[in-house]
Structures are given as structure tokens and as C-alpha cells.
Amino acid sequence: EAGVAQSPRYKIIEKRQSVAFWCNPISGHATLYWYQQILGQGPKLLIQFQNNGVVDDSQLPKDRFSAERLKGVDSTLKIQPAKLEDSAVYLCASSRNDRSPLHFGNGTRLTVT
């Protein structure tokens, strides 16, 4: 089966600019996650979707981050405006349901200058 697809692979922006990341999960996977991975650390959950509904966004900085999953398939994560500390790899993961193993994409590496 095809894996989790993410784009772009790399993005460089200046602080206060906006950026968007796209994720296409594995076909048939109902649960989708966005994780933030800062260099040298483990992934940290930002938001979890079940189909097109939000299950948990308690760790999403909602003043600048937003995410949506239209039609329960693809998802976008947006940052506006970006800060220097947002520099990280943004990983999308999906699972068949909320009790199944997670499959990660290769991530988008964001650099904020």
C-alpha cells in the first residue's frame, strides 16, 4: 500500500510569514495526526482527527496554528504568522482507527529565519 504522502519536503520562510503543509494519509485510514518534531527531540502531538472531526487539539497553539481535514481524507496544517521557534519537522501520521499502529510520512522540514 502507498504510504503517507506529505508536501512540500522543505520550506524556508521569514518570521511573520505564513506557511501551509499538506498530508494525504494511507487509503482507508480514519485517524490522522500532525506531530511537530524539533531537532533532537521526539515527535510531539499537535492535533488528532478521527475522519473529519477533531479528537484532540489541546497542544495546538491556536493563536497561530490551524488544521483541517476536509471530507475525512487529506489534511492541511497552517501556521500564520510563523515564529523562529516553529522551525521543526512537521510529521503527518495515519492509522486505520484510533487503536491501530501509526504510519508516518517523511515530514516537511520548516526553517523560519
Partner 1 sequence: GENVEQHPSTLSVQEGDSAVIKCTYSDSASNYFPWYKQELGKGPQLIIDIRSNVGEKKDQRIAVTLNKTAKHFSLHITETQPEDSAVYFCAAEGGKGAGSYQLTFGKGTKLSVIP
Asked if residue 32 binds partner 1 (CB under 8 A), the reply is no
Positive or negative: CA dihedral 95, 98, 102, 107: positive
Asked if residue 103 binds partner 1 (CB under 8 A), the reply is yes
Positive or negative: CA dihedral 72, 36, 26, 49: negative
Asked if residue 91 binds partner 1 (CB under 8 A), the reply is yes
Q: Bridge partners of 66?
A: 78
Q: Binding partner 1 by CB under 8 A: which of 19, 21, 24, 48?
A: 48
Q: Are strands 19-24 and 5-7 parallel, antiparallel or unpaired?
A: antiparallel
Contacts of 40 by beta carbon, 8 Å cutoff, 6+ apart: none
**With CB under 8 A, what is the number of residues at the site for partner 1?**
25
Q: Where does this chain touch partner 1 (CB under 8 A) — which range of 13-21, 48-56, 70-78, 79-87?
A: 48-56
Where does this chain bind partner 1 (CB under 8 A)?
4, 31, 40-45, 48, 50, 55-56, 91, 93, 95, 98-107
